[in-house]
Amino acid sequence: MTVYVDSSLLLTVYFGEPASARCEGILLDDPAWVTARHTRAEVRRNLARALAGPELAAARLQFERDWSAMAVVELTAEVVEAAVDLAELSGARTLDALHLGAAQVVGGGGLAFATCDQRQAAAARSLGWVVLGS
């Protein structure tokens, strides 16, 4: 595991946003991805909210492929406690803090943190982490 991937980066790729090519490049450059269990709920919810029909089916299929390639960090008490501490330090929102907590537990600043969320990127940078994508 060398890069922590948050939900916003994946969604940017699946939605074909202007930053999609850059974000897809991050994923292709380093296939040793890790993410937290709640990424699954965040991504699937946002796909279902924004897409329908064949577009939704294609995005879900791509996410399932990507999901199977990721190491998944469970939301254990250790991860949640790290999230609490990091939320207080950085001001991160709750779901963002859970991403930070998961990344902290599996490697902290030793992992690159890939996100397309400006607030999430600022929170990770405030911890001294290397941020990709935003």
- The pLDDT tens digits for 40-82 are 999 999 999 999 999 999 999 999 999 999 999 999 999 999 9
Q: Is the pLDDT score of 134 beyond 70?
A: yes
Contact (CB, 8 A) for 42 and 95: yes
CB 20 within 8 A of CB 13: yes
pLDDT of 1 reads 58
Structural domain boundaries, residue 20: 3-132
- CB of 28 closer than 8 Å to CB of 69: no
Question: Could you tell me if 120 and 16 are in contact, meaning their C-beta atoms sit under 8 angstroms apart?
Answer: no
Domains: count for the chain: 1
Q: Is the pLDDT of residue 105 over 80?
A: yes
Angle (nearest 5°) at CA 38 between 96 and 31: 90
Backbone torsion region of residue 16, taken as left when φ is above 0, otherwise alpha when ψ lies between -120 and 50, otherwise beta: left
Average pLDDT value over all residues in the chain: 94
Which pTM value belongs to this model? 0.93
Q: Which of 132, 42, 44 is nearest to 93 (CA)?
A: 42
The CATH number covering residue 118 comes to: 3.40.50.1010
